Amino acid sequence: MTTLDIDQQKRAADAIRVLSMDAVQKANSGHPGMPMGMADLATVLWGRHLIVDPTDPHWLDRDRFVVSNGHGSMLLYAVLHLSGFDLSMDDIRNFRQWGHPTAGHPEIEVERGIEMTTGPLGQGFGSAIGMAVAEAQLEAKFGSDLVDHKTYVFCSDGDLMEGVAAEAASLAGHLELGKVIAIYDDNHISLEGPTSWTFTENVVQRFESYGWHTIVVDGHDHVAIDQAIEEAKSTIGRPTLIDAKTHIGFGSPNKQDSAKAHGSPLGDDEIALVRQELGWDLPPFEIPEDVYKYFHTAMQRGTEARQAWDARHESLISSGGELAADWAAHFDPQPVRLDAPSYEAGKAAATRAMSGKVIQQIGEQRMDFITGDADLAGSTKSLIDDASDFSKEDRTGRNIRYGVREHAMGAMVNGMNIHGGVRAFGSTFLTFSDYMRGSVRLGALMETPSIWVWTHDSIFLGEDGPTHQSIEHVAALRAIPELWVFRPATPGEVAGSWQAAMNRLDGPSALILTRQNLPIPAEDVAPDAVAKGGYIALPGTDATIVATGSELHVAMQAAGLLGEHGLSIRVVSMPCLELFEAQGDSYRRQVLGDGIPVASIEAATTFGWAAITGADGLRIGIDHFGASAPYEVLAEQYGFTPRAVAERLAGWLGRS
């Protein structure tokens, strides 16, 4: 690298610094320290290594760049603007303001070069590992002529303190994901003060124990950074951590190497001193043409690579062969049409077992479909039977074993679905969804089509006791905007829930499934019945009871008992409240009944059900923790038998 190159890169890095501190100052809100400290790393990575194309941001074989320390979002916005992506200087001036894409923490907008939202620390790191899994599988299937890209992730001390990053790093090392390159901003400062207060472990040794290749480098030495990235790119069979020793707030005479540079504007006086220190004499938001030229020239590397890839891709498509068909199956998949799994009426089966049968159908229809479990496949019934496990030996495997790593599974499933070319889901017990909530919420915020399978859905898992018996979890999940929560009761409803989830492309879905067996009805609904969220399972005129999952059968039997005493009870099955609420008023009134009282039953907290029953409605649920006992005993003790429910309904209606 020549002296001229170094001078150009220093000028480019300083442009990132001043844009970042000026935007934060104008907003009077933000984190200037990380962009100023990592500007040299970003300049070398984007200027000499990263392969992306601003003229085609969605190009499938682009390198992925994730800023997991998303509080430093101005670094990302600055480099995207300078590189020619669709982020204007007006957007930079209006950092963190209404109506502009420059949010405080980056949200997914691939057309602008923003790969994913990374607000909660560690999530970006975990999702980057998921992206690398998707890349590895697709490369194994289609070859390196069509799939061969790196996943770069910037991360901080805070990211590496979070458990999700530890879980994901451990699994990445085990799987030998050699195309992951994590660049760690090792500046010894967190939000409150020096990391010596809380974080004194040897990060390099920790990552080496995970099986990572590690490099320690001066994060402000452009030549050393360039050499480190080259070494990481050439490392086979191991992900790489580049531990970059940096100075937070680099260039600030009074706030460099201080927590004062982390999460607050520098102030006008300090900014003037930074300009003097850097030799930057331009006013705010004015960038010299040579800086734009530096980044635009670097982007030609990606444009040329994309054009060459387009030619190879066109050759594949025009061949019309089996590989072309497989490519279409991954990148332009057809919607699924699913049949209810076959069971003999009068027999019994758990909805988790029904789901397992449906998963086999999806696996046959969709070659992009990938399963996953947190060491619980035997319980969640989540494997594709005729598929192998994804491993360091077999990258084509469609079953991913995450081990007991729910945090990592959540983030990685999001990353795989964001990457594209695969459709991934993860599974565990419902009570462990708490471990995944950050990922689930981010998936909803990003409108990522992730799917979650959570089984053992209530106190009726029985003897494992209250620690494993989900009470509040379904309500908590329904509280997440844009997440569709399905709690099906029959084979037809299970197939319909999967069909709706798989065919949804604008957000995540969750399937909540039973451990215990449920009776197979003599007449079942078609899968399409789930599409509106709720339907009339049994007509009635005196009152309506709305049920989900295992309680549908209890409600049906209770209605039958009351029918013997002259009460006409309508039973509504509502496998998905979100879809039901999305219907028009006329459909909702038609299903619930006009002017008749409404009750609900669900083996969970009654929280939230007033939206369906009204304030005066009856809500049968469990607003307390369970107990360790066989599930039949729990049903008897907590009033979830058909007779007990019938008595509650009759008393509520004044017919006891």
Could you tell me which of 430, 379, 427 has the C-alpha nearest to residue 399?
A: 427
Q: Are residues 501 and 535 in the same domain?
A: no
- Looking up residue 375, the CATH number of its domain turns out to be 3.40.50.970
Q: How far is residue 159 from each of residues 248, 405, 432, measured CA to CA in Å? A: 16, 16, 22
Determine the Cα–Cα distance for residues 383 and 399; give it in Å rounded to an integer. 6
State how many domains the chain has: 3
Determine the Cα–Cα distance for residues 197 and 215; give it in Å rounded to an integer. 25
The 8 Å CB, 24+ separation contacts for 378-383 are 379/352, 379/429, 379/455, 379/456, 379/515, 380/352, 380/427, 380/428, 380/429, 380/453, 380/455, 380/513, 381/352, 381/353, 381/355, 381/356, 381/455, 382/356, 382/425, 382/427, 382/453, 383/356, 383/359
Any residues with CB less than 8 A from the CB of 519 and at least 6 apart, and which?
346, 347, 348, 553
Active-site positions read 406
Would you say the C-alpha torsion 544, 548, 554, 560 has a positive or negative sign? Answer: positive
Q: What is the pLDDT of residue 4?
A: 60
Could you tell me which of 475, 441, 473 has the C-alpha nearest to residue 459?
A: 473
Q: Are residues 214 and 77 in the same domain?
A: yes
The 8 Å CB, 24+ separation contacts for 501-504 are 501/451, 502/335, 502/336, 502/362, 502/366, 502/423, 502/451, 503/335, 503/336, 504/449
Q: Are residues 64 and 168 in the same domain?
A: yes
Determine the Cα–Cα distance for residues 222 and 224; give it in Å rounded to an integer. 5
Residue 253: how many other CB atoms lie within 10 Å: 11
Answer yes or no: is 238 within a domain: yes
Which of 519, 553, 588 corresponds to the end of one domain?
Answer: 519
Could you tell me which of 251, 222, 266, 248 has the C-alpha nearest to residue 48?
A: 222
Answer yes or no: is 447 within a domain: yes
Q: Are residues 250 and 218 in the same domain?
A: yes
Answer yes or no: is 338 within a domain: no
Q: Are residues 34 and 112 in the same domain?
A: yes
Answer yes or no: is 295 within a domain: yes
Collapsing DSSP to helix, strand or coil, 409 comes out as helix
Determine the Cα–Cα distance for residues 165 and 410; give it in Å rounded to an integer. 11
Answer yes or no: is 456 within a domain: yes
Q: Are residues 614 and 468 in the same domain?
A: no
Q: Are residues 547 and 473 in the same domain?
A: no
Could you tell me which of 204, 601, 543 has the C-alpha nearest to residue 609?
A: 601
Answer yes or no: is 328 within a domain: no
Would you say the C-alpha torsion 358, 364, 367, 371 has a positive or negative sign? Answer: positive
- Looking up residue 576, the CATH number of its domain turns out to be 3.40.50.920
Any residues with CB less than 8 A from the CB of 654 and at least 6 apart, and which?
none
Rounded to a whole number of angstroms, the CA Rg of the chain reads 28
Which of 246, 275, 305 corresponds to the end of one domain?
Answer: 305
Q: Are residues 255 and 361 in the same domain?
A: no
Helix and strand numbers (H, E) in the chain are 24, 18
Determine the Cα–Cα distance for residues 83 and 292; give it in Å rounded to an integer. 7
Q: Are residues 472 and 605 in the same domain?
A: no
Q: Are residues 510 and 547 in the same domain?
A: no
User: Which stretches of the chain score pLDDT less than 50?
Assistant: none
Answer yes or no: is 314 within a domain: no
Which of 519, 554, 584 corresponds to the end of one domain?
Answer: 519
Q: Are residues 354 and 222 in the same domain?
A: no
Helix (H) or strand (E) run with residue 474 in it: helix 473-478
Answer yes or no: is 321 within a domain: no
Q: How far is residue 389 from each of residues 19, 458, 520, measured CA to CA in Å? A: 47, 30, 32
Q: What is the pLDDT of residue 107?
A: 86
Could you tell me which of 125, 114, 105, 136 has the C-alpha nearest to residue 57?
A: 114
Angle between helices 123-142 and 406-419 (to 10 degrees): 50
Host domain of residue 601: 531-652
Collapsing DSSP to helix, strand or coil, 486 comes out as strand
Q: Are residues 512 and 552 in the same domain?
A: no
pTM of the predicted protein model: 0.97
